[in-house]
C-alpha cells in the first residue's frame, strides 16, 4: 500500500509487503528508542492524540513515539470533555480537530467509529482501538514481537506453532493477530479456552482456508509442549452468567513458573497484551515468571513504540529522512535490556 497520507484503520488494509515495510522501518527506529541517538525529523509536526476511551499505555505509547521523532503532542482524553457528548457528529469533530494537527491517533469505544472519523479528517488517522472491532497497532506489535523472538532461535513465522490461551471469543488481539498470521505459511494453531469463550467460527474458517492446522481444546496441560509461542489473554469473569460458572475455570488457564517448566519447551516465548491482573486472586500469568528470559510481555510494549514510530514516519512520508535529522543524545540513558 501507499502509506504517505493514508489512514491506518484495519489489518485488512495490509499485505505481506506492507507489513515488511513497517517492520523494516520499525527496526530502524531501535537506536532512537534506545537513546543511542535521536532524530528531529518531525520537529514542528503535531500529533492529535484523541483518546475518547481511556488507555494509559496505548495513549502514552503513541505520544512518546511522536516525541521520539521530534514532534509535539496535543492530547484529548475522555468523552465527557468532548463535544461528542453534545450530539456533535464524528464528521464534524474530525473536520475541526484535524485542522489542529498533522496526523491523528484515535481510540474510541464504538466499533467503526475511527473509520467514520477518518472520513471527515483532513490528515492521516491511525486507529488506536475502536471498541470491539480492531486495534491494528497491537496486532502489528504482536507479529513483530513473534518475528523478533523466533529469530533468536533461527526460526521464522512460517512453520511455527502458536498456542493461544484464555478468552479467544472477546479477545480482540487474538482475532487480529490470527488474521495477520493467515498471510503466512504452515502454522500450527493450538486454541485453548473454555468452550464458552472459544475462538469465533469465522476466525477458525480463515485459519483453515489459509491452510494452517488447528487444535481446539479446553485443556492447558499436555497441549503446550510443542508451542514456540504461548499467547495468553485474560478471562474476564464477568463474561460468565454466574460466579459459579466462572469458578469452574479458576486456575485452569493460568501460567506460572511451575506449569511453564512442566509443560512447555525451554524456550517457548510467553506473550500477553497487558495489562495483566497481578492480584493474588487473579488467574492469568504469575509474577514468578517475571525474570524468565522467555517472558516477552515487556518487550511487546517496547516493540509497540517502534511500530508506532514506524507508522508515523510512513504516513507522514519521512521514513527516508530519519538519518538526515539525527543528533546525539547528551543525557543519561538507561542501558538496553532487550
Contacts of a copy of itself in 215-274 (CB under 8 A): 274
Window of 110-118, 156-164, 215-223, 296-304 that interacts with a copy of itself by CB under 8 A: 296-304
- Shortest spacing between CB 15 and a copy of itself, in angstroms: 21
Euclidean distance between the first and the last CA atom of the chain, given in angstroms as a whole number: 31
- Shortest spacing between CB 7 and a copy of itself, in angstroms: 12
- For the record, the C-alpha cell of 278 comes out as 497481578
Contacts to a copy of itself from residues 62-81, by CB under 8 A: 63-64, 67-68, 70, 72-78, 80-81
327 binds a copy of itself (CB under 8 A): yes
Contact 321, 40 (CB under 8 A): no
Contact 159, 186 (CB under 8 A): yes
326 binds a copy of itself (CB under 8 A): no
Residue number with CB closer to a copy of itself (94 or 157): 94
203 binds a copy of itself (CB under 8 A): no
> In degrees rounded to 5, what are phi and psi of residue 18?
-60, -40
Handedness of CA 257, 259, 263, 269 (dihedral sign): negative
x/- letters, 306..325, toward a copy of itself (CB under 8 A): ---------xxxx--x---x
H/E stretch holding 72 = strand 72-77
Window of 16-24, 60-68, 195-203, 258-266 that interacts with a copy of itself by CB under 8 A: 60-68
288 binds a copy of itself (CB under 8 A): no
Contact 139, 23 (CB under 8 A): no
| Residue of 150, 147, 289, 156 lying closest to 232 (CA atoms) | 289
294 binds a copy of itself (CB under 8 A): no
Number of residues lying near a copy of itself (CB under 8 A): 80
Neighbours of 300 (CB within 10 A): 19
87 binds a copy of itself (CB under 8 A): yes
x/- letters, 129..158, toward a copy of itself (CB under 8 A): ------------------------------
- For the record, the C-alpha cell of 237 comes out as 469473569
200 binds a copy of itself (CB under 8 A): no
| Residue of 296, 285, 19 lying closest to 151 (CA atoms) | 296
Amino acid at each position: 500500500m501507499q502509506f504517505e497520507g493514508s489512514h491506518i484503520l484495519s489489518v485488512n488494509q495490509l499485505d505481506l509487503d506492507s507489513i515488511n515495510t513497517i517492520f523494516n522501518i520499525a527496526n530502524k527506529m531501535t537506536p532512537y528508542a534506545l537513546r543511542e541517538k535521536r532524530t528531529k525529523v518531525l520537529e514542528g509536526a503535531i500529533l492529535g492524540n484523541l483518546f475518547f476511551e481511556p488507555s494509559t499505555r496505548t495513549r502514552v505509547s503513541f505520544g512518546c513515539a511522536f516525541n521520539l521523532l521530534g514532534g509535539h503532542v496535543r492530547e484529548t482524553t475522555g468523552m465527557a470533555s468532548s463535544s461528542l457528548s453534545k450530539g456533535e457528529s464524528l464528521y464534524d469533530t474530525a473536520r475541526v480537530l484535524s485542522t489542529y494537527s498533522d496526523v491523528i491517533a484515535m481510540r474510541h469505544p464504538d466499533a467503526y467509529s475511527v473509520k467514520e472519523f477518518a472520513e471527515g479528517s483532513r490528515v492521516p488517522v491511525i486507529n488506536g482501538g475502536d471498541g470491539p472491532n480492531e486495534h491494528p497497532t497491537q496486532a502489528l506489535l504482536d507479529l513483530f514481537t513473534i518475528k523478533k523472538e523466533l529469530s533468536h532461535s533461527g526460526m521464522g513465522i512460517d512453520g511455527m506453532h502458536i498456542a493461544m490461551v484464555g478468552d479467544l471469543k472477546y479477545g480482540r488481539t487474538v482475532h487480529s493477530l490470527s488474521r495477520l498470521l493467515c498471510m503466512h505459511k504452515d502454522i500450527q494453531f493450538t486454541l485453548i479456552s473454555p468452550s464458552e469463550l472459544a475462538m469465533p467460527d469465522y476466525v477458525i474458517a480463515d485459519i483453515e482456508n489459509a491452510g494452517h492446522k488447528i487444535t481446539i481444546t479446553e485443556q492447558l496441560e499436555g497441549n503446550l509442549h510443542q508451542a514456540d509461542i504461548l499467547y495468553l489473554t485474560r478471562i474476564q469473569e464477568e463474561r460468565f452468567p454466574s460466579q459459579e460458572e466462572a469458578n469452574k475455570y479458576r486456575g485452569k488457564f493460568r501460567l506460572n513458573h511451575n506449569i511453564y517448566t512442566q509443560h512447555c519447551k525451554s524456550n517457548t516465548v510467553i506473550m500477553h497484551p497487558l495489562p495483566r491482573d497481578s492480584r493474588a486472586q487473579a488467574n492469568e500469568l504469575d509474577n514468578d515468571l517475571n525474570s524468565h528470559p522467555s517472558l516477552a510481555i515487556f518487550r511487546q510494549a517496547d516493540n509497540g513504540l517502534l511500530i508506532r514510530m514506524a507508522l508515523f514516519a510512513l504516513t507522514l512520508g519521512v521514513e527516508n529522512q530519519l538519518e538526515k535529522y539525527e543528533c546525539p543524545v547528551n543525557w543519561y540513558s538507561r542501558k538496553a535490556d532487550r
